[in-house]
Chain A
Amino acid sequence: QQQVRQSPQSLTVWEGETAILNCSYENSAFDYFPWYQQFPGEGPALLISILSVSDKKEDGRFTIFFNKREKKLSLHIADSQPGDSATYFCAARKNNYAQGLTFGLGTRVSVFP
């Protein structure tokens, strides 16, 4: 059973539009949610992250909205650029810092000029 779910599986937007990626989770023990960006053939790179005590986190064109009650979060990519074309993974971690991350299946984003 997938503990972290992402939708849509793939997303196409035009340059300048806002891409919205959704993520939901089952386990209430998850307290930290990073989003990773991965280009083909490379390791994932941390994009932005949020702790469960916050409901919003902004970093430049990237914003996370978090709803703890509904166990949902979303990543908004404003003013999308062709260079943003990549796969985005939502991940979650329990409050045991030593353990690793549980990843969603990813959303493949394509930005067309």
Chain B
Amino acid sequence: AQTIHQWPVAEIKAVGSPLSLGCTIKGKSSPNLYWYWQATGGTLQQLFYSITVGQVESVVQLNLSASRPKDDQFILSTEKLLLSHSGFYLCAWSLPGGAQDTQYFGPGTRLLVL
């Protein structure tokens, strides 16, 4: 069975501090990986996607960056947090090449920037 883990579960950080969020997928080889951001009570906004190790595409610029150092790992980071970075960060995966491209979401990381 595939499992998707996100860490940490929640973070409270100061404006201007660095951030690193992680996502690990187990039980599936070479999945497509995605990062989404969700404001409290809002919709999901796609941030990045990756189809292979070392390759990441940006969808929207929010002063964030992403990396895929391993086949099963996706990292979201920034060197300097803004208040607007607060929200719910969701990692998702899908099978590559599938017509229905079902995306499965992780439990999310809640971030509060003060």
Whether A105 and B104, one on each chain, are in contact in the complex, defined by CB atoms closer than 8 angstroms, is no
Contact with B along A21-49 (1 / 0, CB 8 A): 00000000000101010000111111001
Which B residues touch A97, using CB under 8 A?
A: 32, 94, 96-99, 101
Complex interface: chain A residues within 8 A of B105 (CB): 36, 43-45
- Determine whether the beta carbon of A42 is less than 8 Å from that of B108: yes
A32 touches B101 (CB 8 A): yes
With known contacts A34-B102, A46-B104, A105–B36 Cβ distance under 8 A: no
Quick one: given A34-B102, A105-B42, are A42 and B107 in contact (CB under 8 Å)?
yes
B2 in the interface (beta carbon within 8 A): no
Closest B residue to A98 using CB positions: B51
Asked if A100 is an interface residue, CB under 8 A from chain B, the answer is yes
Closest to A105 in B: B43
B52 to chain A, nearest CB (A): 10
Q: Are A93 and B106 interface neighbours, CB within 8 A?
A: no
Can you name the residue of chain B whose Cβ is closest to the Cβ of A106? B43
Q: Tell me the nearest residue of chain A to B105, going by C-beta.
A: A43
| Residues from chain A with Cβ under 8 Å of B107 in the complex | 42-43
A43 and B46 within 8 A (CB): no
In the complex, whether B100 has a CB less than 8 A from a CB of chain A is yes
User: Can you sample 28 A-B contacts with CB below 8 Å?
Assistant: A32-B101, A34-B103, A41-B108, A42-B107, A43-B90, A43-B92, A43-B105, A43-B107, A44-B44, A44-B90, A44-B105, A46-B102, A46-B104, A51-B99, A51-B100, A93-B101, A97-B96, A97-B101, A98-B49, A98-B51, A98-B96, A99-B49, A99-B59, A100-B49, A101-B103, A103-B43, A103-B45, A106-B43
- Chain A: residues with CB nearer than 8 A to chain B? 32, 34, 36, 41-46, 49, 51, 89, 91, 93, 97-106
